[in-house]
Amino acid sequence: MADESECRPSEIVTSFLLKTCPSHRRLRDHDIRAVELCAEMASKRTPDDEEGKHIPLITGSYAEFYIEPMLPHFGDIDVMYYYNTQLAIPRGHPPPTQLPAEFQNYVEVFEIIDSHLPAYVYLLTRYLLTQRIGDNKYEYFEYERKPYFGNDSRFSRGDGPTRGKMCYQGPALTGDCSDIPGMMSCDYVRCVHCLVWPPQAAGWTTRHRNYGWPDSATFDRVVSNGCDVVGVAHHQCKEDKWMRKAQHRMSFSRAEIVLMNSWMPVQQIVYHVLRVYLKTELLSDHANKVKGASLPSNYHIKTLVLWACELKPKNWWTENLNLVSICVELLNTLSVWLTDTRCPHYFVDNCNLLDKSFNVGRMASQLKSVNDQYLSTWLVKNYIGQCAKLCPGHISHLFDDVSTAVKLRKAVSEIVRWRLSDNFAFDDVCWTVSYAESKIPLFLSYRHILTVHSCIHWMNALKKIDKRISVYFSAVALLHVAGRISIHGFNDELMDILSLILGRDSNVFCGVLSLCKAELNTPELVELLQKFAAELLTAHRQLVARDLGSFGLILTIDFEELCAYKRGV
């Protein structure tokens, strides 16, 4: 066994990354923020139909990573959504006669038409589907006039976030919350969903794979999720008056989420490290920036790793594991791609994600010169060094002098020890519970009305995330409903919301039904809901106290405060 002083920096870096990037995420405040954003979008109505809904999905890095590195691995939360009154189908594909329950009883159908550029398409208005009453199947009517659906239709009034500075960035409507403490910014991207796997990516389903990734179950999930079409034109077409308004890009975000969550932890760590290196070292280098020129992005890194997962055998990733060496080989591959101006799209054949508009000459040279020694040194300074700054002072000071392998190893060991300590996790959970207790009442009272659709998102997501916060949401939601009943009276939507929160078979819900049959005895109904909300809040307090001890009792909001919140609805 090698002496500690003989340990290579690449081995120290590898050990550090494996130990500090656990393959399970702890509860964090951005988990609550992600649920809030989805529920906010789910509460909105489409502009053309009061019954139309927005169907949201969290995408991007938040949804793709299951590891939790010490350094931030996403800077915002991406929400992709579509209207349940619109649908895309491949050209020549017959209009569907059955649709998932989330779709409205009438649906406008667009046909996907290829443009002259791979992965960029047009949407031709083709059919109107209407649902029959008897068997719930859809029949179609073909439009006589078939206009193209413009990408300037991608956002409607009210689609955007209600907090933060709103601005457009490509196909995204961004809510910049950087000036709001504790609030993560968000990107909303409207799309048109296609339920079937598109012919533009047919090659992905048929190509031969030597190493069994993705496996059959993952493959089936990817194909069954279909794809989406996002309203944005290719940069080469921005000068054409018609194309810049009519062109759309095919999106495989759903497929990417499924595939990347099937990666081994080492593959996720490699992807994370490559992103950090690209952003910190290459994209921050002003010599690589030329006015009007494009630069490689995280999507090029994602494409690089997707191809590597498919083309490399499992033992390439796992035997004699050295994360630095893996990253170096992939960076060298990226250098070849940049030199050749070639980055093959992972899903669409004959689609190059690089062209002459990219300023990559200097970057390609930089990447070609990267070796194990250089990248190890860079990661010690710029990755582990940044992690050290997150630690208490007596640990971070150890990093002031890491001139020998022994000193480096000692500093790294202390960082790892602190990272894996119970106190580190405890502080995160305390903060997140406190964040949830303050934000959930605000969400339900601040410009949002709890709807059946948004309630489903809240409850389904919180059950997966944390039981304590799920119970707390139910208590606050009951008070919210009680407040609406006392002011506006009872209605069918509130009945549906209560059935979601309480469960149709519960004794409390049976009590609600009996009061409804007694011609809506409003004061008694409100009192019943408040009473059960108090019981749920007590259960929440007990769960928090069990997990967080006496500190948890300080966090929980008093029931009287919540009642005051209810009276202010």
pLDDT value at position 232? 93
| Digit-coded pLDDT (tens) for 41-60 | 998 888 877 788 999 999 99
Q: Is the pLDDT of residue 562 over 70?
A: no
Region 406-431: mean pLDDT is: 85
Q: Are the CB atoms for 36 and 443 separated by under 8 Å?
A: yes
Q: Give the whole-angstrom CA distance, residue 428 versus residue 70.
A: 12
pLDDT value at position 568? 44
pLDDT value at position 30? 84
| Digit-coded pLDDT (tens) for 460-517 | 999 988 889 999 999 999 999 988 888 888 888 888 998 899 886 677 777 777 766 5
Region 9-38: mean pLDDT is: 89
Q: Is the pLDDT of residue 26 over 90?
A: no
Cβ neighbour number for residue 401 with a 10 Å cutoff: 10
Cβ neighbour number for residue 506 with a 10 Å cutoff: 14
Closest CA to 104 of 76, 136, 80: 136
Domain ranges of the chain: 44-262, 423-567
Closest CA to 201 of 56, 57, 58, 344: 344
SS3 sequence of 485-505:
HHHHCCCHHHHHHHHHHHCCC
What's this model's pTM, rounded to 2 decimal places? 0.90
Which range among 74-88, 237-251, 283-297, 413-427 shows the weakest confidence by mean pLDDT?
Answer: 283-297
| Digit-coded pLDDT (tens) for 301-332 | 999 999 999 999 999 999 999 999 999 999 99
pLDDT value at position 129? 97
pLDDT value at position 154? 57
| Digit-coded pLDDT (tens) for 206-261 | 999 999 999 999 999 999 999 999 999 998 998 999 999 999 999 999 999 999 99
CA 311, 313, 314, 315: dihedral to nearest 10 degrees?
-140
Q: Could you say which DSSP state residue 150 is in?
A: P
Q: Is the pLDDT of residue 439 over 80?
A: yes
More confident residue, 184 or 459: 459
Q: With cut-offs at 50, 70 and 90, classify the pLDDT of residue 292.
A: low
Q: Give the whole-angstrom CA distance, residue 188 versus residue 168.
A: 10
Enumerate the H helices of 380-466 as residue ranges: 385-388, 393-396, 405-419, 422-445, 452-465
Q: With cut-offs at 50, 70 and 90, classify the pLDDT of residue 567.
A: very low
The whole-chain average pLDDT of the chain stands at 87
Cβ neighbour number for residue 33 with a 10 Å cutoff: 22
Q: Give the whole-angstrom CA distance, residue 6 versus residue 454.
A: 57
Q: Give the whole-angstrom CA distance, residue 144 versus residue 338.
A: 47
Give phi and psi for 50, each to the nearest 5: -60, -25
pLDDT value at position 303? 98
pLDDT value at position 45? 85
Q: What share of the chain in percent tops pLDDT 90?
A: 55
pLDDT value at position 179? 61
Q: In sequence order, what are the residues at sequence separation of 6 or more whose Cβ sits closer than 8 angstroms to the Cβ of residue 149? A: 110, 122, 123, 124, 125, 192, 246, 248
| Digit-coded pLDDT (tens) for 361-389 | 888 888 999 999 999 999 999 999 999 99
Q: Give the whole-angstrom CA distance, residue 117 versus residue 119.
A: 6
Q: Give the whole-angstrom CA distance, residue 103 versus residue 84.
A: 5
Q: Give the whole-angstrom CA distance, residue 336 versus residue 342.
A: 8
